[in-house]
Structure 1
């Protein structure tokens, strides 16, 4: 759907706002993931049976993998990343369409001016 010249600024602003909202959601999910990872670190920190860093990392991984909330958060992060990429593509598409529309308008004005000058030279 091609927009009129006056509609592009508003559409671009809305598309930009959509990208910003997705960014905000991504940051919220990342904070949630960080909290879940912090909780896993606390669980691992108090397990005295773990003797070295490799065991602690493996146990941390295990704690996170059995947490369904952690997997849902990562799924949400992946979904939001895809949504953001699509929203960025939409925003860029609108910007490009607006640039083309401006160039077409400039071309039309230039052709009209050339036509007027030609008529003046001919005496019409």
Structure 2
């Protein structure tokens, strides 16, 4: 559906707002993941039977892998990143359509002016 020239600014603003909303949701999911990872770090740090950093990292990984909330958050982050890419593409598409519509309007105006000048020169 092609928009009229006057409809593009609001459509572009809405598309930009969609990108911003998705970025906000991504930030929230990242913050949630950081809390889950911090909790896994805490659990691994206080287990006295772990002898070195490699064992603590492995324990952290185990804690995160058995946490279904962590998996859901990772899935949500992947989904949101995909949504953001689609929203950004939509925004760019609208911006490009707007540029083309402006150029087409300018061309139509220029052709009308040339037509008027030609008729004046011919005496019509």
TM-score, L = length of structure 1: 0.99
Question: Which whole-Å deviations, capped at 9, do the CAs of 1:70-123 have from their partners, x for residues lacking one?
Answer: 000000000000000000000000000000000000000000010011011001
Match of 2:3 in 1: 3
- Spell out structure 1 runs of 4+ moving beyond 4 A: none
- Structure 1 gaps of 5+ residues are none
1:5-44 to structure 2, matched below 5 A, reads 5-44=5-44
Deviation of residue 5 (structure 1)? Answer: 0.4
Does 2:79 match 1:79? yes
The number of residues matched between the two structures is: 124
Q: 1:5 & 1:113 partners in 2: Cα distance?
A: 20
Deviation of residue 16 (structure 1)? Answer: 0.3
SS in 2 for 1:48: coil
Question: Which whole-Å deviations, capped at 9, do the CAs of 1:20-78 have from their partners, x for residues lacking one?
Answer: 00000000000000000000011001000000111010000000000000000000000
Q: What is the root-mean-square deviation in Å for CA atoms of aligned residues?
A: 0.4
Match of 2:97 in 1: 97
Match of 1:111 in 2: 111
Match of 1:69 in 2: 69
- Structure 2 gaps of 5+ residues are none
